[in-house]
Amino acid sequence: MESRIEKRRIERAERNGGDIISTLPDFLLIHILSFLPTPILTSILSSRWKPLWTLLPILNLDQRTLLRNEHTFSFVDRVSRIWTLCNAIPLHTLRIRWTANCQLFYVETWLRATIHLAVLQELDLFIYTYTYYQALELPRTLFFSTTLVVLKFKDQIFLNPPHDCSLPSLRILQLSYVKYANHNSLSTFLQDLTLKMSVSDLKY
């Protein structure tokens, strides 16, 4: 039975100009999309792919990519539309790169909505507002996540972890140019972590 289905898919692909990939089952196409840096844009490639990116548990919100050749809508407009389409799928990975006129209120809103579902495994934030004294204060609940494995923060992010924070699943932590609430902020953040360093990590 399965071989007949596969045969029909291949025959249909040959009639459509040899697009065999689009004849694959949904779960395989979703797996393929999960490896692309901007899966949202692949929806323009084929009508077969259009509904699939909304089923991904990975969301890459990169201002540079989403606003490429875009002169009508703002970054917030684009993300709001995307968020509406994807809000039924709990996110495992959220990446936000907003480095031109970032509006912290929106980032905080998206972040709280994602953390609330308690399945997030990777969070990558790179934000810049052009105002030195502004910074995104991370939600308190983030510091007690049992699912986060990867945390990457860059630029205007305010690190103020509670003294009893706990991230038992965290394995990768990258902090670049973030702002610290006080001299104990980093040590508080790291107190529950086991740091591992290889020889290749050392720079002389």
Tens of pLDDT, residues 50-78:
677 777 888 889 998 888 776 678 899 98
CA distances 51 to 33, 94, 115, 124, 170, Å, are: 12, 19, 24, 25, 32
Most confident of 21-35, 157-171, 178-192: 157-171
Interior/surface letters 77-102, b for 16+ CB within 10 angstroms, e for the rest: ebbeebbeebeeeebbbbbbbbbeeb
Higher pLDDT, 27 or 123: 123
Instruction: With residue 174 as reference, give the H or E element that holds it.
Output: strand 172-176
| Token pair belonging to 4 | 């007949």
Segment 148-174, tens digit of pLDDT: 999 999 999 999 999 888 898 998 999
